[in-house]
Amino acid sequence: MKIADILNATRPTVSFEFFPPKTSEAMANLLQTLSRLHELRPSFATCTYGAGGSTRTRTLEVTLKIKEQFRLEAMAHFTCVGQRLKDIDAVLENFAKVGIENVFALRGDRPVGQPEPPEGWFPDFKNAVDLIRHLRRRFGNSFSIGCAGYPEKHPEAPDIETDLRRLKDKVEAGADFIITQLYFDNAVFFRFVEHCRQLGITVPIIAGIMPVTNVAQIKKFTSLCGAVIPERMLIELNPIADDPEAVLKYGIDWSTRQCRELLAGGVDGLHFYTLNKSNATRQIVENLRGEGVSL
- Give catalytic status of residue 245 as yes or no: no
Yes or no: say if 4 and 143 are a contact pair by the CB < 8 Å rule.
Answer: no
Yes or no: say if 103 and 92 are a contact pair by the CB < 8 Å rule.
Answer: yes
Residues 6+ apart with CB under 8 A from 51: 79, 81, 82, 108, 109, 111
Spatial separation of the C-alpha atoms in residues 274 and 33, rounded to whole Å:
9
Residues 6+ apart with CB under 8 A from 5: 144
Which helix (H) or strand (E) segment is 164 a member of? helix 160-173
Which helix (H) or strand (E) segment is 78 a member of? strand 74-79
17, 73, 101, 152: the catalytic one is: 17
Residues annotated as catalytic (active site), given as ranges: 17
